[in-house]
Structure 1
Amino acid sequence: MLSASSPPMSWVSLLLTAWSSRAPSLLLVVMVSRDVGLRVGLEGVQTSMCSRWGSRVEEFNQGQDGDVVIGGLFNLHYQPPVIDQEFIKPPLYNPCTGLEVETLKSVYAMEFAVEEINRNPLILPGVKLNYRILDSCGRHPWVLHGAFSLVGGEMESCDSTAILPQSHVSGTSSAMRGGPSIPLIIGGASSTTAIILSRLLASLSVPVISYLASCPCLSDRHRFPNFFRTIPSDVYQAKTMARLAILFNWNWIGAVIANNDYGRLAIQLLEHLNKVNFTTPNGEEFFFQGADIPAAYDLVNWKTSPDGSLKLVLIGRVDGLELHLNKTSIQWTTGTSQVPISVCSESCPPGTRRANRKGEPVCCFDCIPCTDGEVSNETGSHQCRRCPVEFWSNPGNTACIPRKVDFLSFNETLGIILTTGAVSGVVVTTAVFVIFLCYHNTPVVRANNSELSFLLLLSLKLCFLCALVFIGRPSVWSCRLQQAAFGISFVLCVSCLQVKTMVVLAAFRSARPGAGGLMKWFGPGQQRGSVCFFTSIQVIICTIWLSLSPPIPHRDLGFQGSKVNLECAMSSVVGFAVVLGYIGFLACLCLLLAFLARKLPDNFNEAKFITFSMLIFCAVWVAFVPAYISSPGKYSVAVEIFAILASSYGLLMCIFAPKCFIILLRPERNTKKQLMGR
């Protein structure tokens, strides 16, 4: 319906022409007077218009009384009125303009539904329905006014123009003066309107049934106990879109919405509506779930026809939260069935983390690999998680795995090399020992104190053997044995060299006048006693150290890596330092004595060879200290073994290689005459 009035004219002709194919043809001419209302005929429908405190409503009435009258509030116009703001009297709304055809269809749908219910004796036997419909024109004050008019059963008297059936003209005046109260209102064309109606009519227990209000807030039965609707809540659309986003692995979607409020609920029969449950002629089951009806949607897809036109194709259906989708029938904007990616960057795979690009949208990011010791086991992780201390990341940084125990073993390459070096030293030392034993009566062996030479060879063999104790899985006894064997073996070795040097010096000093009795202090017994004395001091040091604070097996978790280093931890660094310090003291003393005897006749002493051997020995152990401290894990053990082998080989080569060369390759020089030649 469309109506208009113009204040400057006393008579205005209004021609209404409504739809052709969707509704019956209708041609209506209304003559409107400012002071006189003229009624003309429209079959089955009557209309009245009224002005009160600036409001305007239209009423449609079936024209017959009923046992129950249903109220209706519809927005029949799409052009809202302009408010006259003169500030000298209450504001007055100008008439609405522009007939809303879709809303008018809803009006006739309501009329048709009432008539169908009245004609069918099986639906409401013995009950006759009627209706009153008002036009609110989308204005909240008119919605309030219309709701009070319907619920209060009154229609204010005012100047108006009515369009009524000719057969019901006699009943019009009574309709204008008043009417039955309305126990139920169909209205709330928006969520905001529905909220207003529900709050207004809740205290009167008048239910409101909306056909367009879809705000999820209206599902709250505590706030809106009298609200019902025949359209699903928007929460189903939101959940469906979320399920689609998850299904297609989208990170975000865009939505276009109107910038207004959603409505709330109400109650031109609450107890019974909660129990409504029937099946429509189409076979669809209808009932209320709280304030809502079961959600059902068709999922449609725009597809391009061969002729270039667009058409909607059914690709799935949503029943409540159940999603049924035929993904193969979807045509994307790219023209293919490949699901589009909704971010500007591919999702980061496990083992990486997202790093947002500065100055770009949050959907644009780089994938940064997790550092060693950190993992991410999900796609699109924002950060990497550090593994527990007993665990480390796998090669792909996707999971934490137990860290392997790492130590210098006999099976690895470094362990094999060091073991080979130690065993070779033992073999060479044994060979030299056998050579000296076979040639113990020759001048070369006898001239260089054969007893101390055999003892020195024995101590060198122990030095090579103690290197093997450092290789393998550390245990309580291996940790104690390796340091004790190392300290005692090297003190025994250096003590033999020191006594040999002292004997050389005493021998040449005794040749001077008045020093003949000097050698009696360096006889065989004194030599053995001196070696035992020097060695016994180291034995006492090691015993005290290992008794009070011995090295123990320790899992070094502070070492960052995929392995846990198992080592012999020095519980007392002081004990280890004293052991090394004592060895160093004897070595320096031996070097000093050998240096003093270096210019004595070469054929009678080993001072020159001992000097070279002590230089090598001291150089190796001076370099050992910083290398040992700076080496991580098992490599510190390898450094100590290397120092043991290097110093032992240095002593073996410098002291015994020249003698073996004469014994085996220059036997003509292994005579007393050759030795006494100078």
Structure 2
Amino acid sequence: MWISLYLCIYLSFTCISAASTTRSGSCQLQGHFRLNGMYQDGDLIIGGLFAFHLITVFPEINFKRQPEQIHCERFYMASFQQAQTMVYAINEINNNPSLLPNITLGYHLYDNCVKLGVSFRSATALLSGTEETLSNFNCTGPPPVIGIVGDPGSTHCIAISSVLGLFRIPMVSYYATCSCLSDRKKYPSFFRTIPSDAFQVRAMVRILRHFGWTWVGLLYSDDDYGINAAQSFQKEVQLFGGCVSFSEILPLDNNYIDIHRIVQVIQASTARVVVVFSTEAYLLPLMDEVILQNVTGRQWIASEAWATSPVFHTQRLLPFLGGTLGIAIRRGEIQGLHDFLLRLHPDSNLRNNMVRIFWENMFRCSFDTGGREGEIICTGQEDLSSTDTAYTDVSELRASYNVYKAVYALAHALHDLMQCEEWRGPFSGNSCADISNLKPWQLVHYLQKVNFTTDFGDHVSFDKNGDALAIYDVMNWQPNTDGSIVVHTVGVVDEAAATGNVLTLDENAIYWNLETKKSPRSVCSESCPPGTRRARRKGLPVCCFDCLPCADGEISNISDSIECIVCSDEFWSNTDQNQCVPKEVEFLSYEEPLGISLSTASLLGTCICSAVVVIFAHYRHTPVVRANNSELSFLLLVSLKLCFLCVLLFIGRPQLWTCQLRHAVFGISFVLCISSILVKTMVVIAVFKSSRPEGKGAMKWFGAAQQRGTVLILTALQVVICAVWLSTASPTTHKNSQYIRSKVVYECAIGSVAGFSMLLGYIGLLSAVSFLLAFLARNLPDNFNEAKFITFSMLIFCAVWIAFVPAYVSSPGKYAVAVEIFAILASSFGLLVSIFAPKCYIIILHPERNTKKAIMGRAT
């Protein structure tokens, strides 16, 4: 709105001047502004805009008469030093025979009173001049100044550059940092010797990252500088995971109610760090309120606009602002400046009213209108060398050093322009610029290519956007011996550092104004350790979060991880959830109690079978052993021994050969066992039938050869099933993570379900036939009817394997193998005990019953 207003005012003056020209034949100045300034004539004039005063007093508006001129108050010594630095630089250039020979530079410096309206009026005066009339009928020709040094305010530069850019008049600011001014399309003739806010914000965020401050408060002035810097700051903070706890605007009118509310927000916030983008004019009332409400325990981060401002370096602000960290523009040294500043005298430069104002504020001098014209009468000491003020202090030349570089940049651009050789120039037709009729855009061309080094050793050049190289000093506000605040340099931020270490800090030199005397902790949520992830709290900024442990099988190996990483298939998270470790391998091993128990039972069964074989071999001629074909009994014992021993193939880490053998040996052993029992049952039935007259020829079909052939054929069928299964879809080792995700279960994949089903089905078929025949023959009239024991054994066998199926399916991992082993052992022991225990009982304990008469039921 302000820019539009002043553009309208400027255009209105232009139109009025044009109308006046048609009447009088000359351009008439339509209005006068009372502008405080400093002047010196020369062949070429450089303009300057400085904040000599900090407060502007506007007159009362009365529509009955023309308003009075505005009045500026609160003289700013530091800005007057900056203006004097410009004067010194111009004098130094004029006395330098190697730079701009035969050209004398002059200056017109004006006060902007830190107000856009005053600054724009001053710029207009520099642009159009202050002569009453202009004899050129077309109001054309070179402007009164070849370039302007200033303004220090970003908002002022935006407004002024919008007009100067139309005429391509160069403007070199020494303190305007708004990144918006880097837009070459909007501001084609704007340059600056101070880095833009984009670099400033990045430097401040580097400090926050260095100390781990992710929860910070933000204050900024309601102008272009503050708004643009705050926006850039918030974007940069979010990039490294931080956030802003509050975001408050410093009111332009310094309204007490707004300032009171801002301080209350600072007190209520849990953020210990407060970042401020503002200038002294807006901060002074806020600091008065900070003192009034006793706001302590806060770490202030100062932007370059107030990081070195001496107006805050007082004893009463030390408890509140002591320890402040800030970034400041590059400090420099200017040889001879201090002596030049001390040579200022009240009797010199009487034409420059700013000198008079300076002496009035410095030593209570007054302009004597009653005496000799131009005489100044002072009531105090007039020796500047005995004072210690912001004007005479040259130990921290920052803004003044930038002014010095800005003047020299214009001078070097002019010098390069004058060195142009005819027909080798950069303009149309290879022409050069004419110094007597210099066009502003011609100087802009050379200013863009300026490249020189100051006596202090700093390189000065501009990038394509007119910005200077980014380098800052990190400042710390520390207590002085007299109780005031003194600023010390504790680090450097150099974006162009050759080592890549952009931020360098001496933490031992930093003063912390806290009870702990250490760096404060300013986070919304504590850092999440490895093994956890951040979960944002709903409705709160991004840096406010909870730390949730990673789920099983997931890890986070860095702090503040946003998400957990899933471990690969063969790895699992450790107890701290911060590392993937190989999964625990599970299989039925010989070392664990279950494996030991089962293998012991297997060996026990094998030993019992061996013992029974020994007994039967020793008593092979006795009737009990010889009854019902002793050869089948030995074959049954051998098959039971194989059943017991095949259990050992199921224990231990599965290998390809064990996976292939375990089920084959198991299937063949049990078929051999059941085949022997089936033939035994058939023999019992055949013997009973042969005892009857009608079945005397039954035994010829169940002789020893037929019995062996039947067992061999039945077993051979199982061997064929196993051979086909192993050759087509052989069992293989398999790592299974489905049962327990945290473990890898080593197991044997059966390969073909059909092959395994046929193996089990064939065993089941033989078992069912054996059980049925034994059941039918259980009541045959024989004193020693083995069919009864076979029926009981087959009942146990079938019960075990019927129960095995659901138990096997529902058991995970190694327990499924244990269930299968248990079924093998239980059925094997059932067969062994049911069939051979009665015979061993008679052989060992009742040998008297082991006779032919006893077996035939004829013994007394």
Fold match, TM over 0.5?
Answer: yes
**How far apart, in 2, do the equivalents of 1:110 and 1:643 lie?**
104
Matched, 1:367 2:343: no
SS of residue matched to 1:256 = strand
2:71 aligned with 1:97: yes
User: 1:512 & 1:535 partners in 2: Cα distance?
Assistant: 32
Indicate the residue corresponding to 2:491 in structure 1: 317
* 1:254 has 2:434 as partner: no
One of 769, 778, 788 as aligned partner of 1:589: 769
- The offset of 1:104, in angstroms, is 4.8
Local SS of the residue matching 1:542: helix
Question: Is the partner of 1:133 in helix, strand or coil?
Answer: strand
Partners of 1:541 and 1:147 lie apart in 2 by 106
CA distance in 1, matches of 2:186, 2:783: 116
CA contact (8 A) 2:450 2:462 kept: no
The residue that corresponds to 1:285 in the other structure is: 458
Secondary structure in structure 2 of the residue aligned to 1:200? helix
In structure 2, how many angstroms separate the alpha carbons of the residues matched to 1:100 and 1:338?
Answer: 38
Asked if structure 2 preserves the Cα contact closer than 8 Å seen for 1:57 and 1:146, the reply is: no
Matched-pair contact (CA < 8 Å) for 1:80–1:137: no
Which one of the candidate residues 817, 836, 847 is aligned to 1:667? 847
2:29 and 2:804 map into 1 onto residues whose CA distance is 108
2:93 is aligned with 1:79: no
Matches within 5 A, 1:559-578: 561-578=741-758
- Partners of 1:297 and 1:238 in 2: how far apart? 11
1:343-362 deviation digits (Å, cap 9, x = unpaired): 24321111211223446554
Displacement of 1:67: 2.0
Q: For the residues of structure 2 that align with 1:73 and 1:636, how far apart are their CA atoms? A: 91
Q: Return the offset for 1:215.
A: 1.7
Offset at 1:457?
A: 0.7
Question: Partners of 1:59 and 1:328 in 2: how far apart?
Answer: 46
User: Which residue in the other structure is 2:190 paired with?
Assistant: 227
Separation in structure 2 between the aligned mates of residue 314 and residue 666 of structure 1, nearest angstrom: 112
| Aligned-partner Cα distance in 1 for 2:513–2:611 | 87
Relative to structure 1, is the Cα distance of residues 628 and 97 closer, same or farther in structure 2, using a 3 angstrom cutoff?
farther
State the distance in 2 between where 1:83 and 1:186 align. 32
**Is 1:275 aligned to 2:450, yes or no?**
yes
Take 1:134 and 1:338, find their aligned partners in 2: how far apart are those partners?
46
* Aligned mates of 1:455, 1:392 — CA distance in 2: 50
Q: Which residue of 1 aligns with 2:825?
A: 645
Contact map agreement 1:300 1:312 (CA 8 A) in 2 = no
| Alignment pair present for 1:440 and 2:620 | yes
Equivalent residue, structure 2, for 1:166 = none
Matched, 1:464 2:644: yes
Query: Are the counterparts in 1 of residues 589 and 595 from structure 2 also a CA contact under 8 Å?
Result: yes
Measured in 1, the distance between the counterparts of 2:770 and 2:548 equals 61
Corresponding position: 1:151 with 2:331? no
Residue 367 (structure 2) pairs with residue 193 (structure 1): no
Q: Does 1:384 align with 2:559?
A: no
Compare 179-188 and 454-463 and name the one that shifted more.
Answer: 179-188
Q: Does 1:183 align with 2:150?
A: no
**Residue 236 and residue 312 in structure 1: after superposition, are their counterparts in 2 closer, same or farther (change >3 A)?**
farther
Q: Does 1:515 align with 2:695?
A: yes
Aligned in 2, Cα 1:320/1:530: closer, same or farther, shift over 3 Å?
A: same
SS in 2 for 1:610: helix
Matching residue within 636, 639, 645 for 2:816:
636
Deviations 1:51-83 (A, max 9, x none): 957x84515342x43022111234556337589
Q: Distance in 2 between matches of 1:642 and 1:430?
A: 20
Compute the displacement of 1:661 (Å): 3.2
Q: Secondary structure at the match of 2:603?
A: helix
Deviation at 1:417, TM superposition (A): 4.0
Is the alpha carbon distance of 1:61 and 1:577 closer, same or farther for their aligned partners in structure 2, counting shifts above 3 Å?
Answer: same
Secondary structure of 2:598's partner?
helix
Q: Which amino acid aligns with 1:129?
A: L
Deviation per CA, 1:132-187: give whole Å up to 9, x if none: 133455565665554454234554569xxxxxxxxxxxxxxxxxxx9962111012
Q: How many angstroms does 1:382 deviate by?
A: 1.4
Write the deviation string for residues 599-619 of structure 1: whole angstroms up to 9, x where unpaired: 456851233332332232222
- For the residues of structure 1 that align with 2:561 and 2:611, how far apart are their CA atoms? 66
What is the TM-score of this pair, normalised by structure 1?
0.77
Q: Over aligned residues, Cα RMSD in angstroms?
A: 3.9
- Taking a change above 3 Å as real, the CA distance of residues 664 and 292 of structure 1, as seen in their structure-2 partners, is same
Distance of aligned partners of 1:92 and 1:389 in 2 relative to their CA distance in 1, 3 Å threshold: farther
Quick check: 1:131 aligned with 2:94? no
Percent identity, aligned pairs only, is 50
Q: Using the alignment, how far apart are the partners of 1:83 and 1:542 within structure 2?
A: 113
Determine which of 584, 588, 608 is the counterpart of 2:788: 608
Secondary structure of the residue aligned to 2:697 is helix
* AA partner of residue 674 (structure 2): V
Map of 1:67 onto structure 2: 43
Matched, 1:299 2:275: no
SS across alignment from 2:547 = strand
Please tell me whether the aligned partners of residues 491 and 506 of structure 2 are also in contact (alpha carbons under 8 angstroms): no
Taking a change above 3 Å as real, the CA distance of residues 105 and 326 of structure 1, as seen in their structure-2 partners, is closer
C-alpha distance in structure 2 between counterparts of 1:631 and 1:82, whole Å: 95
Match of 1:22 in 2: none
Please tell me whether the aligned partners of residues 572 and 580 of structure 2 are also in contact (alpha carbons under 8 angstroms). Answer: yes
1:191 deviates by 1.5
2:525 to 340, 345, 363: 345
- Counterpart of 1:243 (choices 185, 203, 206) is 206
**5+ residue gaps in structure 2?**
1-27, 135-140, 229-405, 407-439, 496-501
Give the Å deviation of 1:374.
Answer: 1.4
> Which amino acid is the alignment partner of residue 101 of structure 1?
F
Amino acid at match of 2:71: T
Q: Is the 8 A contact 1:487 1:580 kept in 2?
A: yes
Call closer, same or farther: CA 1:69–1:602 in 2, change over 3 Å: farther
CA distance in 1, matches of 2:694, 2:170: 137
For residues 506 and 94 of structure 1, the distance between their equivalents in structure 2, rounded to whole angstroms, comes to 142
User: 1:279–1:286: 8 Å Cα contact kept in structure 2?
Assistant: yes
1:40 aligned residue: none
Deviations 1:503-554 (A, max 9, x none): 2233334444533333333332332233223323323333333343332333
**Alignment of 1:624 onto 2:624:** no
